[in-house]
Structure 1
């Protein structure tokens, strides 16, 4: 309960789309308040003792279904919760928060919520079962000894273990297969004994919990302006491009010289050439998956989970070295652009240097 004199101001973890099963349309509404997760279920399956016909929740769900509220391309969307950007503390506590399950029901024509202690516990971070990952010879670190400092990207966190700052990436329902692929690729890169021109973060260990392996650890790269995509956005905005954060606040002033952009372009190309010599595919190649080290100013290639962002790699080339090369050409084109402020002082033109 909130303390007297305070507002009810819940923090929403994720608002998940409705979940389908073979015959029933249901909705889970999830938010966090006072360090607890509230998972509120709307289901047409009435609990014994409550209205089963013409219930308010069934009418609400029917309207959502009629309006195509959920994505009908998928048979089911599972609930996934994770560490939040503003949270810090023991990884175990943040991964497995206290969850209160409620169900919205109708009794004598009135809507109410009842506590459901009989619902199965959600496995927010299912264990990795890939045989190759389980056979990798690397140190295992239990979530109980890992302290989260802050979130870096979705499912990726800056953590500290025994005084050392490391980067952790956790498995989630939606990334379960891709994280196995990423671990296997990083291990292959690590054991290939590439030269120093391959700038890919070092795989440092696997994360274990009471359920099994739930993620991995890699070397932490202190980043300049978050990632290359954001750094270029900031630099263009500094020169006059009409670009802001989603909340309307201005992007931080940033200067990126031609020499630095040429260096990053060369380093990304060198890394890809070496990886392709061993038939290792980057996959989700794009500027957002390039980190600029704020100490050395080097460009590091990250995220080998096999995703594909529209506009970078054609669908038919995804997962191939040809797809990587297509994305590389587009990355190099962005880095080679000659940024010019328009004559009106507001528009922003980019021409590619010959």
Structure 2
């Protein structure tokens, strides 16, 4: 159900033996497809019972519902209600229970304090604004799982947002904020093909950093999208330019001690002027692009760039014109 998490309590489990048996079988099934099918069957029963909870009983039957803006706060901290499944008159029913009676993490003050403690280790730019999740409107969700990645609107401007409920306790988010901060400090006043860090998302109670806001790069695709489509309207001379821009950008990063990390085509955005931008500084590695033992190293970046250039089918060795422009 949108905006609602339903947590089950184990109490009175004997009243819904069939459903529990399906879930138990799914946990012991050796075949993943069989396990998924058993879980789906059990969840179908639970969802049918829980469906009535999602109805807006307060709205008149003939009223026109005006969609409300989706706020980042609602995605990071969805309304959580806890229930127990029981058998009533031969049918399954949902009974409200206290939050502490159910399974699942509780986002309490101790959790907030841990986030704040981790955040104290991260360098931030105090001149950049901070926003509460309630102030960030989600325009388009770009990825699912592992936090919220979206196109957002803040103060009337479109920005890229990446945020998590556990904030900087997540290594990749912490790394990306650190890298973008270091890049902004190293290239003040210089134009680099890396989106600028524009602000932070903070917890409404503790003030801990939950996410970042960076420059949004209007684009039609990333390099992986282009390749899957057969590089339409992306002739070799433009690929040559993109390859050179990628190589030069990574070399610039290395000169100031920043490692791109997960170098691969899907982390290169091609803007509306066919210029290449490097995105995603969360680190890591991806099979076929960077070897695991080289992740988050200069050598790993170099390997990834070489494979991206091969993927583009271009040669980025300096031309005679470029050689004339090289500093001496």
| TM-score between the two structures when normalised by the length of structure 1 | 0.65
1:98 is aligned to 2:65 = no
1:327 is aligned to 2:316 = no
Q: Per the alignment, do residues 66 and 38 of structure 1 end up closer, same or farther by CA in structure 2, a change over 3 Å counting? A: same
The answer for the alignment partner of 1:65 in structure 2 is 27
The answer for the alignment partner of 2:6 in structure 1 is 39
Bigger relative contact order, structure 1 or 2 (CA pairs below 8 A, ≥6 apart): 2
217, 225, 230: which one aligns with 1:230: 225
Gaps of 5+ in 1: 1-30, 71-85, 237-253, 339-354
Q: Per the alignment, do residues 302 and 88 of structure 1 end up closer, same or farther by CA in structure 2, a change over 3 Å counting? A: farther
Question: Is the contact between residue 197 and residue 271 of structure 1 (CA under 8 Å) also seen in structure 2?
Answer: no
Aligned counterparts of 1:151 and 1:54: Cα–Cα separation in 2: 37
| 1:247-288 C-alpha deviation (Å, 9 max, x unpaired) | xxxxxxx32111110010000000000111123111111000
Aligned counterparts of 2:305 and 2:188: Cα–Cα separation in 1: 20
Q: Per the alignment, do residues 300 and 184 of structure 1 end up closer, same or farther by CA in structure 2, a change over 3 Å counting? A: same
Secondary structure of the residue aligned to 1:188 is helix
The answer for the alignment partner of 2:164 in structure 1 is 171
How many residue pairs are counted as aligned between the two chains? 266
Aligned counterparts of 2:79 and 2:15: Cα–Cα separation in 1: 33
Considering fraction of residues, name the structure with more strand. 1
Aligned counterparts of 2:17 and 2:70: Cα–Cα separation in 1: 42
Q: Per the alignment, do residues 132 and 335 of structure 1 end up closer, same or farther by CA in structure 2, a change over 3 Å counting? A: same
1:159 is aligned to 2:152 = yes
**Where do residues 329-344 of structure 1 align in structure 2 (5 Å cutoff)?**
329-336=306-313
Q: CA deviation at 1:166?
A: 1.5
| 1:95-132 C-alpha deviation (Å, 9 max, x unpaired) | 33333333334579864433333347754997462323
Considering fraction of residues, name the structure with more helix. 2
**Where do residues 111-190 of structure 1 align in structure 2 (5 Å cutoff)?**
111-119=92-100, 122-123=106-107, 127=115, 129-133=118-122, 135-137=124-126, 138-154=128-144, 155-172=148-165, 176-190=170-184
The answer for the alignment partner of 2:254 in structure 1 is 276
The answer for the alignment partner of 1:213 in structure 2 is 209
Secondary structure of the residue aligned to 2:159 is strand
Question: Is the contact between residue 76 and residue 165 of structure 2 (CA under 8 Å) also seen in structure 1?
Answer: no
Gaps of 5+ in 2: 33-66, 316-328
| 1:318-341 C-alpha deviation (Å, 9 max, x unpaired) | 111111111111100011179xxx
Question: Is the contact between residue 143 and residue 209 of structure 1 (CA under 8 Å) also seen in structure 2?
Answer: yes
Aligned counterparts of 2:233 and 2:98: Cα–Cα separation in 1: 56
Secondary structure of the residue aligned to 1:273 is helix
Question: Is the contact between residue 201 and residue 210 of structure 2 (CA under 8 Å) also seen in structure 1?
Answer: yes
After superposition, the CA RMSD in angstroms is 3.3
